[in-house]
């Protein structure tokens, strides 16, 4: 696990705690986390990403819960959701790492 991802997560959790924002965290494999707000309607993935052959870097993406549930109900697998560019673009959207707290808590 890249220690820098853990530091970013720690910063988000400290800021959330200071502002009274309750977040839940679930570790995903060994290099990422899923973070949700208290009502579970705002979800962010945080981890190490490699995009189009570039060097791996810390990144974050928003998961549109409503569209994810629709795709799942329609029978799409997670691989389908990620690999299909049109589908992925409606379910998963990249956000700057420094905006994770604001998205989840504001």
Of 24, 25, 64, 63, the closest CA to residue 44 belongs to 63
pLDDT (mean) for 59-72: 94
At residue 15, does pLDDT exceed 70? yes
pLDDT (mean) for 22-37: 92
Kindly report the backbone phi and psi dihedral angles of residue 18, in degrees, each rounded to the nearest multiple of 5, phi listed first.
-60, -30
How far apart CA 9 and CA 7 sit, in angstroms, is 5
Return the percentage of the chain with pLDDT > 90, whole number.
Answer: 71
What's the chain's average pLDDT? 91
Q: Which residue has the tokens 């795709």?
A: 71
pLDDT (mean) for 58-71: 93
pTM confidence score: 0.85
Q: 36-51 pLDDT, tens per residue?
A: 999 988 999 999 987 7
């Amino acid at each position: 696990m890249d220690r820098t991802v853990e530091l970013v997560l720690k910063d988000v959790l400290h800021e959330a705690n200071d502002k009274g924002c309750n977040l839940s965290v679930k570790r995903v494999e060994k290099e990422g986390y899923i973070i949700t707000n208290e009502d579970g309607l705002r979800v962010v993935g945080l981890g190490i990403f490699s995009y189009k052959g570039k060097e791996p870097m810390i990144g974050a993406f928003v998961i549109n819960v409503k569209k994810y549930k629709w795709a799942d109900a329609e029978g799409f697998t997670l691989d389908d959701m990620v690999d299909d560019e049109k589908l992925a673009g409606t379910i998963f959207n990249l956000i700057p790492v420094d905006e994770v707290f604001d998205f989840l808590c504001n």
